[in-house]
Amino acid sequence: MKQIIIICSIIIGLISCNDKSLQLPQVPLSGLSGNMNHSQIWVFYNQESAQADLNINNTISSTDWIINIDRRLALSEVIPIFQLIKKKRTKKSIHNVEGMQNFLSYSDTYNKEIALFSMDSIQYIMESQADIAKIEQRIPCDYRLVFCQEVIELNQREFTIDQWKTISLDTLTPGQIQLHFDSKLTYQDYMLYRLTLNDILPKEMIVESTEYFIK
């Protein structure tokens, strides 16, 4: 029933905003189920400008927020919205309720349903490569996984996009792994990589809570 409510809400949102369009990311992996007590945020794809068109007017601070983002948008468009939503969520209000969360929605093509991914524990930083390099010097990590448009790098060792699932993460010594993404990647790319990584990463590997996006 909860899933039906979410799906119906998304359909209604698309029909009422037919001058724009929204296509959810498609990932063949299970996620979290829906929540009855939620507000929805819409991030449409403006077909004329290829830019994000945000509708955040109907959020209620005492509910969970489900964020629906078009998969075609570049991360350079999406990450500032993530940062805006997190700032809005932390803004003090008499209506705030402890424990409310933010979720990203996507289409689980394996189970054929709408699924959710919690973004609460993640901090998003988008900077130039030079500025990120300075941050890396201050915050060492065991492994650095970089997702680019044509290659994926693990501690500066390159893999093709097709090879990335075959990276033997289970053979690595347990430690912390830091994620970097080229902001030219699409939101579809991000959700596919991020969710798949959660699925294949050994439990002994810890993903750092801060993710870096290269301008």
Residue 3 has pLDDT above 80, yes or no: no
3-class state of residue 203 by DSSP: coil
Helix extents (H) in 114-186: 129-138
Strand positions, DSSP E, the chain:
26-27, 38-46, 51-55, 64-69, 102-108, 113-118, 123-127, 143-147, 151-154, 157-160, 176-182, 206-214
Please give the structure tokens belonging to residue 86: 């997190």
Tens-place pLDDT, residues 99-139? 889 999 999 999 999 999 999 999 999 999 999 888 888 88
CA distance 204 to 76: 31
**pLDDT attached to residue 94:** 56
Confidence of residue 172 (pLDDT cuts 50, 70, 90): confident
pLDDT top residue among 141 and 9: 141
Helix extents (H) in 31-174: 75-90, 129-138
Tens-place pLDDT, residues 143-159? 999 999 999 999 989 99
Q: What is the mean pLDDT of the chain?
A: 87
Confidence of residue 61 (pLDDT cuts 50, 70, 90): confident
pLDDT top residue among 64 and 172: 64
3-class state of residue 5 by DSSP: helix
3-class state of residue 173 by DSSP: coil
**pLDDT attached to residue 12:** 42
**pLDDT attached to residue 98:** 75
Q: Distance of CA 47 to CAs 31, 53, 54, 113, 158, Å?
A: 29, 10, 14, 26, 34
